[in-house]
Structure 1
Amino acid sequence: MEKIATIGLDIAKSVFQVHGVDAAGEVVVRKRLSRARVIPFFAKLPRCLVGIEACSNSHHWARELIALGHDVRLMPAQYAKPYVKRGKNDAADAEAICEAVSALWLKKTRKVPLQPRKFLDFCWYQVNFLENNISISGG
């Protein structure tokens, strides 16, 4: 398999569509994967840029792919919409996401932090301490 530089991943409830291109922009892979086959597929790939439309479970998948070493970018659906060339289907959406994430103007997409939970836990403890008038001495 040729070296994949960029992947567009369209997330659905049970089936995911992958569209991958090399550095020259030539299509290298177009696959339809079940939920169980997504992680094994990406585990075999070398590090690459992965674009995902922001949705309810995209942060989960972004963290999973970051743990595998990939550079993941989330983007609103409006960013990928201008790149859709044909009818609304998973393959067309994955291709549009792939093109949008590799566009030069799209450098301000959100990079997903690997450990966002630690900050949320800290905020929860801080609010809990303030509500219960608990103070922690600094000495």
Structure 2
Amino acid sequence: MSQIIRIGMDTSKYIFQLHGVDASEQVVLRKRLSRKAMLEFFAKLPPTVLVIEACGAAHHLARELGRLGHAVKLIAPQLVKPYVSRNKNDGR
């Protein structure tokens, strides 16, 4: 598997959708995880950049993932629109 340099995370109450790319911006990771499985997944992953839409729970999540060594970037909700494909608002 290519080295993941950046992961975008779509958050919800119970399920997290991950989308990871390598240095050439090719998709190398698409994963749907529960909250518990997500923290276990990131504990095993080498430090990388995570991008999360800012919301109430995102700040807590950013602190938890930061403790695992990852660099977390929160982006404003109005700046997320360019990254949405097919007008879907969830990870399905």
TM range (shorter): over 0.9
Q: Is the 8 A contact 1:19 1:91 kept in 2?
A: no
Over the aligned positions, Cα root-mean-square deviation in angstroms equals: 1.3
Give the 3-state SS of the residue equivalent to 2:12 in structure 1: coil
Greater than 6 Å deviation, 4+ residue runs = none
What's 1:77 paired with?
77
Tell me, which stretches of 5 or more residues in structure 1 are unaligned? 93-139
Counterpart in the other structure of 2:67: 67
For 1:55 and 1:61, the matched residues in 2 are separated by 10
**TM-score normalised to the size of structure 2?**
0.93
Distance 1:83 1:53 in 2: 11
Question: Normalising to structure 1: TM-score of the pair?
Answer: 0.63
Of Structure 1 and Structure 2, the greater strand share is in 2
**Structure 2 segments unaligned to the other structure (5+ residues):** none
The separation in 2 between residues aligned to 1:85 and 1:54, in whole angstroms, is 19
**Partners of 1:83 and 1:52 in 2: how far apart?**
11
2:55 pairs with 1:55: yes
Larger CA Rg, structure 1 vs 2: 1
**Contact 1:10–1:16, Cα closer than 8 Å, also in 2:** yes
| Aligned residue-pair number | 92
Q: CA separation in 1, counterparts of 2:77 and 2:10?
A: 11
Instruction: Give, in angstroms, the shift of residue 2 of structure 1.
Output: 1.9
Matched residue SS, 2:37:
helix
1:48-97 CA distances to partner (integer Å, 9 max, x unpaired)?
110000011001110011001001000111111123221213238xxxxx
Question: Aligned residues: percent identity?
Answer: 55
Q: Kindly provide the amino acid, as one letter, of the partner of residue 87 in structure 1.
A: N
Tell me the secondary structure at the aligned position of residue 73 of structure 1: strand
Task: Report the residue type matching 1:24 in the other structure.
Answer: S
